[in-house]
Every structure is written in structure tokens, then in C-alpha cells.
Amino acid sequence: MSRRAAPVVADLVARARQGDAGAVARLITLVEDASPALREVMESLREHVGHAHVLGITGAPGVGKSTSTNALVAALRTAVRRVGVLAIDPSSPFSGGALLGDRVRMADHAVDPGVYIRSMGSRGHLGGLAWSTPQAVRVLDAAGCDVVIVETVGVGQSEVEVAGLADSTLVLLAPGMGDGIQAAKAGILEIGDVYAVNKADRDGAERTRRELRSMLSMAERRDGAWQPPVVMTVATTGAGIDDLAAEIDRHAAWLSGSGELALRRTARARREVEAIAMTALREQWRRPERTADLDSLAGRVAAGTIDPYAAADELLAEG
Amino acid sequence: MSRRAAPVVADLVARARQGDAGAVARLITLVEDASPALREVMESLREHVGHAHVLGITGAPGVGKSTSTNALVAALRTAVRRVGVLAIDPSSPFSGGALLGDRVRMADHAVDPGVYIRSMGSRGHLGGLAWSTPQAVRVLDAAGCDVVIVETVGVGQSEVEVAGLADSTLVLLAPGMGDGIQAAKAGILEIGDVYAVNKADRDGAERTRRELRSMLSMAERRDGAWQPPVVMTVATTGAGIDDLAAEIDRHAAWLSGSGELALRRTARARREVEAIAMTALREQWRRPERTADLDSLAGRVAAGTIDPYAAADELLAEG
């Protein structure tokens, strides 16, 4: 716990807002460490957030997420002053051994002062992605990023979570990965605002595009709802990346114009507040000085002397 | 909401305990529907649970989970009176369109009164897998199942969640799926008590076994800790399935003997109580008659008039 960080929060925030990458990094570390200073950090950031467009990028392993993010950052940087990238690795909640080898590809932007790149694990966070990522997004937003990209591997719930954190969600596919049925199973048809079929120079790209289009067309949409476009890209050569950036811009404009942006941001804030409250409660419930602490109640449930609902009642009764 | 179910709870529980499959199905539906009667159900079940050995089965799509579960159920049924299977599909939290086509393979057991099979989605449940699955397991346990299998596709967090719900966890792999690096990324090396390399008659099975063994041997284990065995199986022919069942039995015996069973069950009860309490709180926080309800607080956070920690404080202050 970095309690000593507290006195320097105002200074860190001021430096981050002036474009000091070291201060930005330090603030994100406070998020990762769940520092007690975070409360003060978020209070200081409050009036400076809300400017950044938050773009979630997800896709199965092997579709070319890092390369696509890399190419997209380059395309976005021609139009905006500052881009932040949070690369989330939700794979292992147990160990710090995130395999971030593909991060080295992002080294293209290592010398661009207009690009912040940060890898984050969701390990160790009681509230997972829902707790730490929005706070890291706030740091990058307040630091003047016009776009904040949250990139995560599209497996299980993490892709749904990333969609919940973003203003716009880009879903990446690639040909020949059995996308069809897998796409339907993984629920990606319901989270994408923009789709890219990457590796579009490979066999089967057109078929993947056709299948995706067909499945998207079957989804029921309200009148005036956004129709997710499908863009063909080859991230390694940059082909189609400008089109992709344009579609993302178009979605951002639609979000503002339709009122959907405010709805999405309120929903995001709801999850964020809930995650912070839950984390506080979990800590409270574990305190051994309680009459009914969670551990002893769990022991009684396991032993069969109390049922889980009655145990939850006891937990909540003590507050 | 099936409030009218409440009066018949005692009767349903009594019939389920006598082996009435319809009553078991009805009770699991109460779990799926998050019925208000659940509280009474769990109270009635309390004294009848704790007998079943809970086996989690997970693995990537395509490793042969359904076929393996099917074969394992047949092997287990030679030794035990009753087996329950919960097939969890966590893929889509949004729609009821779970693709359960492979469930039909389980039809082998459709006429065996000693086998209960139930598919469950985790959609719609506020607490997800953590909330509904343990309660469904309790139903099957109280209904006299000696073994309850919880089968889920191994993607993202769901495999970690299933390990948290089970006494023993079986992780399935198959050759030629790029298992090596994926296995490490997905954290499956940290959750398996028993591993099976299925489709062991295919090219590369031996290499998959070797890589897995090698990675497992690198994991640090305490003295006296369980060493996860790796079994070669061909679920479609039944080859290796008896060995697999024997290893699962051996793990069950080790769990009891080492005291680990009580630890795992207490940890499971802790998550279950927490999930029930969280669900109750979420409902409470949404009540519009509150001074500080979650929705209006979220609106203020999104508008930048309050920071998320201060909003969480207001939420918790009102209880």
C-alpha cells in the first residue's frame, strides 16, 4: 500500500494534465495497486474527465488485435493530439505471469509522446476489469487523451465487459477461425458497433465477411438504431485501416447525435460505482471483529448448520 | 415470478429426494428463474446436502467435452446410484439463444433414471454462474446424486469460476489446438486436479501430453500437495475413461484425507453467500424511493458532478 503517495496526488494530477508520461504511469500504478490514494486521485480527476472517446477492441486470440490496434493508433494520431491504449490481459487471475510478448509490436509508438501505452492485468483486483479499467480510463482521459483504446482478448465474459466500458466497441475477426458458429456463441454479434475482418488478404475473408453480415442482418434493431459496418483490413500493411478509423469516427458522431452516448456513460458509471461499493463491502465483511464475518458464516454453510440465504441475511443485518 | 410455488416447496423437496426427476427439474427451474421461493427451497435442502462429490469439467471448444462427460457418466454409473449433470453455457449473457446442439449426444442417458441432465444458461442472473450454479448443485445433491458434474466451456473466467464451484476439476485438452501457449494464457494449469488429453488417437496427442506434463512440473507445489495426473482418452470409443474415473476417485479420496475438501467447500460457501448478498444489495440500490439510488448517482458521475468514490459512499451510507 502506497500511503505515502497521498500528499503528491494533486501534483501528480497536475503533471499528468501537462502531458508528463511518468505522472500518467504513476497514476495508473495507483489504480493497479488499489492504492488508498485512489479516492483522492478520482476526486482530483473528476472535473477533467469526459472528453475522451473510449474505444473497446476485442477479438479471439490470433485475429491480429495488437497489430490492428497499432495501425489504428497511427491512423488516429493523424487527426488527434493524444491517444491512450490500455491493453488488458484478463487471462490469469492467479499469477502475474501475463504473456505480453506481443506488446513489443506496439514499440512503433514508443517514441511518440502523443501515445500512452499501458498493459494491465485484471489479476488481484477484487472487482476485476469492472473495477480497475474505468479508473485507468479516467486517468488517460484527464491526461488529455482524445481517444482511449481498451484492448482485451475476446474470450468469455471479458469481451462483454470491455463493451460495457467503452463508448464504441470494435470487434475483430479473421478468416478461417471457424468464426461463424463461434461468433454466435460468444455473443460478439451483440456487442460490436464496428466489425473488422482482419487478414482480409487470406482465403476465406470474403466468406467470413458474408457470414458476419448475414448474422448481423438477422439481429433485431430498433428504428434509427446504428447498423454496425463491416470493414476489411490487413493490419500488417495498413490496408483498410483508414476506412476503419472513419467508421469509428462515424459511430462516435452517431453516439453524440442520438443521445446514446449519455446513456452508455451513465450505464458505465453505474457499474463503476457498484464495483467500488462492492469492493468496500467485501473488505467490511471480512473483518474478523464482526459478529457475523463472511468466513465464519461460510464455515457454517459448509457444515450445513445454516443455509446460504440465512447466512446472507446475517451478513447484511450487521451492515 | 412464481410466488405461487412457495406452498409446494416442501412437497417438491420431498419428491425430489425420492428420485422424482420432474420435481428435481422444477426445483432447478426455480433457481433459473431466481424465484422468491428459492429462500425456502434452500432452507429445506440444507440438512440434505454435502453428500455429492462435485466434479467440474472444462476445456476449450472442440476438445470433446460433451462426449467425455457422456462417457464419464456411463463409467461412474457402474459404481454409484445417481449422477447429476449441469451443462452450463456462459457464452451469451444477452439472449436465450444458447447453442446446445451437442446436448443431444447426452441422449445416451435419457432413459437412465439414475442420471439427471440439465442445461443452464448463466444469462439473466445478476450474479452469473456464481449465483445460480451452486444452488442448482444443492438441488442435485439433496436429490441423492453421488456425483454432480458441472460442465462448462473453458473460455475466459468461466473455467476459473467452475473450478471455484467444484470439489475436483477435470481439464480436457486435445492435440493440435495450439494448447501449449493457450493453456498457459488461460490459466488452466492452475485449476486442474485431473487432466485428460482427449482424442488421444490423433497426431500430436503424445506431444500435447508431454508439453502439459512439462508445464505442470514447473508449477510450485507444497509438500504433500496433490500432483495432477494426465490421462489419455478417446471419449468416442471409451478408451481411457475408466482410468480417468479412477483418477477422479483418487482425487476425491485425497480431498477428504487431506482436509482440503472442507477448505474448498468453505471457500465455495463464502462465494455463494457473497453472491446472494450482492444480489440483494443490487436490488436495494435500484429502488427509486431511495434518496441516493444507484441510477441517479450514476447520472451524476457521468455528468461529472460527483466522483465514483463519493457516489459509492452515498450509496453505502443509505444502506
pLDDT at residue A95 is higher than 50: no
Q: Do B84 and B224 reside in the same domain of the chain?
A: yes
Is residue A103 very low, low, confident or very high in pLDDT (cuts 50, 70, 90)? Answer: very low
Q: Does A37 touch chain B (CB under 8 A)?
A: no
Which one-letter amino acid corresponds to residue A135?
Q
Q: Do A167 and A134 reside in the same domain of the chain?
A: yes
Going from the C-alpha of B124 to that of each of A151, A206, A233, B119, the distances in angstroms are 26, 35, 35, 15
**Domain harbouring A233, CATH code:** 3.40.50.300
In a domain, A59, yes or no: yes
pLDDT at residue B124 is higher than 70: no
Q: How far apart are the first and last CA of chain A?
A: 26
What's the confidence (pLDDT) of residue A212?
Answer: 87
The answer, yes or no, to whether ipTM is higher than 0.95 is: no
Q: Does B39 touch chain A (CB under 8 A)?
A: yes
Closest CA in chain B for residue A95: B187
**Among the listed ranges A168-172, A196-200, B20-24, B30-34, which one has the minimum average pLDDT value?**
B30-34
More reliable by pLDDT, B80 or B107: B80
Q: Do A8 and A151 reside in the same domain of the chain?
A: no
Is residue B177 very low, low, confident or very high in pLDDT (cuts 50, 70, 90)? Answer: low
What's the confidence (pLDDT) of residue B44?
Answer: 94
pLDDT at residue A96 is higher than 60: no
Sign of CA dihedral B312, B315, B317, B319: negative
Residues A240-244 have a mean pLDDT of 97
Residues of B with Cβ-Cβ distance to A280 under 8 angstroms: 312, 316
Residue with the three cell numbers 468461466? B158
Convert the pLDDT of each residue in B49-60 to its tens digit. Answer: 999 999 999 887
What's the confidence (pLDDT) of residue A296?
Answer: 93
Q: Do B125 and B213 reside in the same domain of the chain?
A: yes
Q: Do B31 and B137 reside in the same domain of the chain?
A: no
Number of domain units in chain B: 3
**Among the listed ranges A71-80, B158-167, B232-241, B244-253, which one has the minimum average pLDDT value?**
B158-167
Closest Cα partner for A147 from A121, A171, A115? A115
Q: Does A46 touch chain B (CB under 8 A)?
A: yes
Average pLDDT, chain B: 83
A200 min Cα distance to partner chain B (Å): 23
Q: Does B100 touch chain A (CB under 8 A)?
A: no
Closest Cα partner for A59 from A137, A164, A162? A162
In a domain, A266, yes or no: no
Residues B180-200 have a mean pLDDT of 75
What's the confidence (pLDDT) of residue B61?
Answer: 76
Q: Does B25 touch chain A (CB under 8 A)?
A: no
Residues 149 through 208 of chain A touching chain B, CB cutoff 8 Å:
155-158, 160, 181-182, 184-187, 190
Q: Give percent of chain B above pLDDT 90.
A: 48
More reliable by pLDDT, B254 or A108: B254
pTM over 0.80: no
In a domain, B167, yes or no: yes
Q: Give percent of chain A above pLDDT 70.
A: 81
In a domain, B267, yes or no: no
Convert the pLDDT of each residue in A275-317 to its tens digit. Answer: 889 888 988 898 888 888 999 999 999 999 999 999 999 999 8
Which one-letter amino acid corresponds to residue B237?
T
Paired strand residues for B58: B152, B171
Sign of CA dihedral A301, A306, A311, A314: negative
Q: Do B221 and B290 reside in the same domain of the chain?
A: no
What's the confidence (pLDDT) of residue B238?
Answer: 95
What's the confidence (pLDDT) of residue B83?
Answer: 94
Q: Do B158 and B218 reside in the same domain of the chain?
A: yes
Question: How is the beta sheet containing A115-121 ordered, strand by strand?
Answer: A115-121, A83-89, A147-153, A53-59, A168-173, A194-197, A230-232
More reliable by pLDDT, B26 or B90: B26
**Do B309 and A184 make contact, defined as CB atoms within 8 angstroms?**
no
What's the confidence (pLDDT) of residue B212?
Answer: 87
In a domain, A11, yes or no: yes
**Among the listed ranges A88-102, A213-227, B45-59, B144-158, which one has the minimum average pLDDT value?**
A88-102
Residues 74 through 93 of chain A touching chain B, CB cutoff 8 Å:
90-93
Q: What is the DSSP string of B150-189?
A: EEEE--TTHHHHHHHH-SEEEEEE-TTS-HHHHHHHHTGG
In a domain, A263, yes or no: no
Residues B108-126 have a mean pLDDT of 69
What's the confidence (pLDDT) of residue B122?
Answer: 57
- Domain range spanning residue B102? 49-258
**Do A186 and B269 make contact, defined as CB atoms within 8 angstroms?**
no
- Highest average pLDDT, of A133-137, A182-186, B113-117, B244-248, comes from B244-248
Closest CA in chain A for residue B302: A266
pLDDT at residue B156 is higher than 50: yes
What's the confidence (pLDDT) of residue A14?
Answer: 94
> Of A48, A63, A81, which closes a domain?
A48
Q: Do A132 and A214 reside in the same domain of the chain?
A: yes
A279 min Cα distance to partner chain B (Å): 10
Is residue B33 very low, low, confident or very high in pLDDT (cuts 50, 70, 90)? Answer: confident
Convert the pLDDT of each residue in A200-237 to its tens digit. Answer: 999 999 998 998 888 888 777 777 789 999 999 999 99
pLDDT at residue A5 is higher than 70: no
Task: State how far the Cα of B12 lies from the Cα of B15, in Å rounded to an integer.
Answer: 5
SS3 call for B276 = helix
What's the confidence (pLDDT) of residue A94?
Answer: 32
Cell (9 digits) for B217: 512440473
**Do B90 and A184 make contact, defined as CB atoms within 8 angstroms?**
no
**Do B280 and A312 make contact, defined as CB atoms within 8 angstroms?**
yes
Q: Does A95 touch chain B (CB under 8 A)?
A: yes
Residues A94-98 have a mean pLDDT of 30
**Do B306 and A46 make contact, defined as CB atoms within 8 angstroms?**
yes
| Test the A interface: residue of B273, B276, B314, B315 with most A CBs within 10 Å | B273
Going from the C-alpha of A116 to that of each of A66, A81, A140, A141, the distances in angstroms are 15, 11, 8, 11
**Do B273 and A308 make contact, defined as CB atoms within 8 angstroms?**
yes
Q: Do A57 and A189 reside in the same domain of the chain?
A: yes
In a domain, B240, yes or no: yes
Q: Does A299 touch chain B (CB under 8 A)?
A: yes
Residues B251-268 have a mean pLDDT of 95
What's the confidence (pLDDT) of residue A59?
Answer: 84
Q: How far apart are the first and last CA of chain B?
A: 25
Q: Do A186 and A313 reside in the same domain of the chain?
A: no
In a domain, A239, yes or no: yes
Task: State how far the Cα of A229 lies from the Cα of A196, in Å rounded to an integer.
Answer: 8
Sign of CA dihedral B35, B36, B37, B39: positive
Q: Do B213 and B287 reside in the same domain of the chain?
A: no
pLDDT at residue B94 is higher than 50: no
Q: What is the CA radius of gyration of chain B?
A: 21
More reliable by pLDDT, B52 or B117: B52
pLDDT at residue B13 is higher than 60: yes
Residues of B with Cβ-Cβ distance to A93 under 8 angstroms: 157, 160, 187
What's the DSSP call for residue A239? B
Q: Give percent of chain B above pLDDT 70.
A: 81
Instruction: Please state the three-class secondary structure of A19-42 as a single string.
Output: CCHHHHHHHHHHHHCCCCCHHHHH
Convert the pLDDT of each residue in B200-232 to its tens digit. Answer: 999 999 998 998 888 888 777 777 789 999 999
Convert the pLDDT of each residue in B266-291 to its tens digit. Answer: 999 998 898 889 888 988 898 888 88
Q: Do B85 and B142 reside in the same domain of the chain?
A: yes
Closest CA in chain B for residue A153: B156
Residues of B with Cβ-Cβ distance to A160 under 8 angstroms: 93-94
